[in-house]
Structure 1
Amino acid sequence: MDPPWMVEIEPGLFLGNMRSSWDLPAIQANNIKAIVSLLHMSAAQWARVWFRGLVTRENHIMIRCVDTLTQDLLQYMGHICDFIDGRLLSTESSQPLEQRPEGPAGDPVTGKSQGSVLIHCEMGISRSATVLIAYLMRKHRTTLQETLELVKQKRKVKPNPNFMDQLKIWGQLEYKIWDDTRKRIPKLLYQEYLDKRAETLKSLGKTGDEPWEDVILSGR
């Protein structure tokens, strides 16, 4: 297993591997106060991890996902971006003031950062890089290629082709993939992706929504 590592992509926002999410010295040194985990394991595996004193349960998102050519990460991108914005508490939020997450008093969250956010998967190459790129695209309103090159200046990343297609859709839909406020009706481009995905799953003999038995891509 690779040693723990995390790299600051921009102030307060770190990309890392799985072991970095358990590395107490690195978490302390980088003032990590929130974590986004993208792994195929259950969130219950973090319940007894000793860094809970530094990163509380409400500041940890666990997205159960796999690095395959059928995994849908688009469905989570908006929620994760909102989570990161709220934890960074940045005045440079990717959302207009009236759309930012609400604080305890019901007012939009503003002010200086109270800590850093770590986004990680197993290797820090595909799943976590995809989510990081999605966040930066929305925050800075930059293209996929511009954002990918920016991240590559800090760390070697390579989202798989499926995730690259999703990031293209994310940008084309201007970071809003749903046609309704209840998030049940996908916009046309997202629906077309879901239809294509369903055909691929069917061809693989899959009947469920998530391809847990699918072959996990190596090196991610």
Structure 2
Amino acid sequence: MTDYEVSVQQLNDLLTDENGDFCMPSRDFNEVYPGILLGNERVATNVRRLRQLGVSHVLNAAHGDSHAHVNTGARFYAGTGIVYHGVPANDTDHFDLGAYFAECSDFMERALAHGSGGGRVYVHCQKGYSRSATLVAAFLMIRRGMDVRGAVATVRERREIGPNDGFLRQLCQLGDGLRNEGEQEHKND
């Protein structure tokens, strides 16, 4: 067992209510950071709704056609002007979502910089609760310089989320790695 600066339990404490219970999302989506909408498959599969919301990009953290995935893709959004990116993630403790952190953060950054006024990205999985929430937290760490606790808390303040412990562990690893990179840069200055 590896020790991280911030533990999985400390992150879980941020995610639960006063009784220690996790809450399911009360809405189909929430804007959890300017230009980043985090939500479920119902909105992701409703192109008219996405257009009403001004969405320019969709990041599907549950790409695939099994029962635990959302079967959309670039073809689903063809002709809509919506740019699509999919990650075939499983919501299990042992799935390596961290392997996708950099590419998804890059996609979200490009989405937010899209067009003259910036774009809006809809990040989703089935419920907008675990896989997609983890990718948004990773983006906030990689691209907005937040620490793991701040990133998870930022998302949680605006939406009920509950990444599985494996994903929280990967966010802790990311946080430690980013902190170590920062310390190395200071040593090289």
What TM-score does the superposition give when structure 2 sets the normalisation length? Answer: 0.71
Instruction: Find the partner of 1:137 among 113, 125, 141.
Output: 141
2:158 matched to which residue of 1?
154
Given that 2:36 and 2:122 are in contact with CA atoms closer than 8 Å, whether structure 1 keeps it comes out as yes
Evaluate the alpha carbon distance shift between residue 78 and residue 143 of structure 1 in structure 2; reply closer, same or farther with a 3 A threshold. same
Alpha-carbon deviations, 1:3-41, whole Å to 9, x = none?
982211122111011121112332012111111101152
Cα RMSD after superposing both structures: 2.8
Deviation at 1:45, TM superposition (A): 4.4
SS at match of 2:178: coil
Evaluate the alpha carbon distance shift between residue 20 and residue 3 of structure 1 in structure 2; reply closer, same or farther with a 3 A threshold. farther
Evaluate the alpha carbon distance shift between residue 120 and residue 176 of structure 1 in structure 2; reply closer, same or farther with a 3 A threshold. farther
Give the counterpart letter for 1:20 in structure 2.
V
Give the counterpart letter for 1:34 in structure 2.
H
Percent identity, aligned pairs only, is: 26
1:165 matched to which residue of 2?
169
Instruction: Find the partner of 2:129 among 125, 137, 141.
Output: 125
Instruction: Find the partner of 2:80 among 51, 54, 67.
Output: 54
Say if 2:61 is the partner of 1:38: yes
Looking at structure 1, the residues matched to 71 and 47 of structure 2 have their Cα atoms a distance apart, in angstroms, of 19
Given that 1:39 and 1:122 are in contact with CA atoms closer than 8 Å, whether structure 2 keeps it comes out as yes
Given that 1:18 and 1:120 are in contact with CA atoms closer than 8 Å, whether structure 2 keeps it comes out as yes
Evaluate the alpha carbon distance shift between residue 175 and residue 14 of structure 1 in structure 2; reply closer, same or farther with a 3 A threshold. farther
Evaluate the alpha carbon distance shift between residue 53 and residue 70 of structure 1 in structure 2; reply closer, same or farther with a 3 A threshold. same
Given that 2:63 and 2:86 are in contact with CA atoms closer than 8 Å, whether structure 1 keeps it comes out as no
Instruction: Find the partner of 1:23 among 43, 46, 65.
Output: 46
Looking at structure 2, the residues matched to 167 and 47 of structure 1 have their Cα atoms a distance apart, in angstroms, of 28
Given that 1:124 and 1:157 are in contact with CA atoms closer than 8 Å, whether structure 2 keeps it comes out as yes
Alpha-carbon deviations, 1:48-92, whole Å to 9, x = none?
53x433244xx21111111011100111110111111112117xx
Given that 1:18 and 1:123 are in contact with CA atoms closer than 8 Å, whether structure 2 keeps it comes out as yes
Instruction: Find the partner of 2:89 among 59, 65, 72.
Output: 65
Alpha-carbon deviations, 1:67-119, whole Å to 9, x = none?
011100111110111111112117xxxxxxxxxxxxxxxxxxx9640x21011
Q: Which runs of 4+ in 1 moved over 4 A?
A: 42-45
Give the counterpart letter for 1:38 in structure 2.
A
SS at match of 1:46: coil
Q: Which has the larger radius of gyration?
A: 1
1:10 matched to which residue of 2?
33
Evaluate the alpha carbon distance shift between residue 175 and residue 127 of structure 1 in structure 2; reply closer, same or farther with a 3 A threshold. farther
- Return 5+ residue gaps in structure 2 as ranges: 1-24, 182-189
Evaluate the alpha carbon distance shift between residue 176 and residue 27 of structure 1 in structure 2; reply closer, same or farther with a 3 A threshold. farther
Equivalent residue pairs, number: 153
Evaluate the alpha carbon distance shift between residue 66 and residue 175 of structure 1 in structure 2; reply closer, same or farther with a 3 A threshold. farther
